[in-house]
Structure 1
Amino acid sequence: MLSYDSWVVRTAGWALIAAGIVVSLTAVGAFRRTETTVNPITPEKTNALVTTGLYKLSRNPMYVGMAAILAGAALLLQNYAALVSVPLFLLSITFLQILPEERVLAAKFGDDFETYRETTARWL
């Protein structure tokens, strides 16, 4: 019996989805304003280190937004097993995307990236 039914949980799910969308779009907007690539597959094409706005709080607000959307969707499914998707996403995005991205950024931006990494949390 992994399912449940709760209007409170549904409301929280919708709130997380809405917050995740706002966070993700705001983070993408910062990249657009800086005129650097948003494409996570080609971090070597980045031409600027974005450290303002949400990027002062987290090195990965786009992924934080995605995690919030996923968590909200898991709550909407109202099944405890769906919640497992959130830590699995966090682990996989960290090892498969974030760490490789950070290696590229460290090589490209050197001390500036190292200072940013030391002063800004990966997640929150």
Structure 2
Amino acid sequence: MQTRKAALGSAGFFVLAPGGVAGVIPWLLTRWRMEPFWLPLRILGVAVLVLALTVLISAFARFVTEGFGTPAPVAPPDRLVVGGLYRFVRNPMYLAVLSLMLGQTLLFGQWILLPYAAIVSLAFAVMVRFHEEPVLRRDFGTQYDSYRAAVPGWWPRLRPWHQN
């Protein structure tokens, strides 16, 4: 896939998928109203939001620059993406999206987002286990098996993994 086409596809998928799950639906649930809440937790919420958005953008960019594709299932990468944050954890995008929900919870004091985040995290886990992992194993074989054995799916490593 051409880099330009991959970048446009990734940008579109960014708006639709994380934008919907971590933006539109939380807005529908909360209207982003600020409830009375402790200021230090609001500040922590902003920090979590900034960090999560940085991680998410970085992970999406990695699919374009390293994988020559998109995170969207309809236009997957040509190469297994294992660089950048993917050296620490296999699912940085999903973790970033969940962190966006946590950041909004803290910023707005809207606790309704926690059960929503729990439902989304379950959906992510099921999708990864029953769709993504089998597809990656089929498409990338032993390369994916080695990566999967070395890099945890949900809890980041302390030191980056280096491909042999």
Q: Which residue of 1 aligns with 2:5?
A: none
Q: Tell me the CA shift for residue 37 of structure 1.
A: 2.1
Q: Tell me the CA shift for residue 66 of structure 1.
A: 0.9
1:70-90 CA distance string (max 9 Å, x none): 110122231333322222221
When the two chains are superposed, the root-mean-square deviation of aligned CA atoms in Å is: 1.7
Higher relative contact order (CA 8 A, sep 6+): 1
Q: Which residue of 2 aligns with 1:42?
A: 74
Q: Residue 114 of structure 1 aligns to a residue in which SS?
A: helix
Aligned mates of 2:146, 2:66 — CA distance in 1: 19
Q: Residue 80 of structure 1 aligns to a residue in which SS?
A: coil
Q: Contact conserved, 1:75 with 1:82, CA < 8 A, in 2?
A: no
Q: Contact conserved, 2:66 with 2:83, CA < 8 A, in 1?
A: no
Q: Which residue of 1 aligns with 2:32?
A: none
Q: Percent identity?
A: 25
Q: Residue 105 of structure 2 aligns to a residue in which SS?
A: helix
Q: Which residue of 2 aligns with 1:30?
A: 62
Aligned residues: 120
Q: Which residue of 2 aligns with 1:77?
A: 108
Aligned mates of 1:36, 1:67 — CA distance in 2: 25
Which 4+ stretches in 1 moved above 3 angstroms? none
- TM-score with structure 2 setting the length: 0.66
Name the one with the larger helix percent.
Answer: 1
Q: Tell me the CA shift for residue 62 of structure 1.
A: 1.2
Q: Is the counterpart of residue 14 in structure 1 residue 51 in structure 2?
A: no
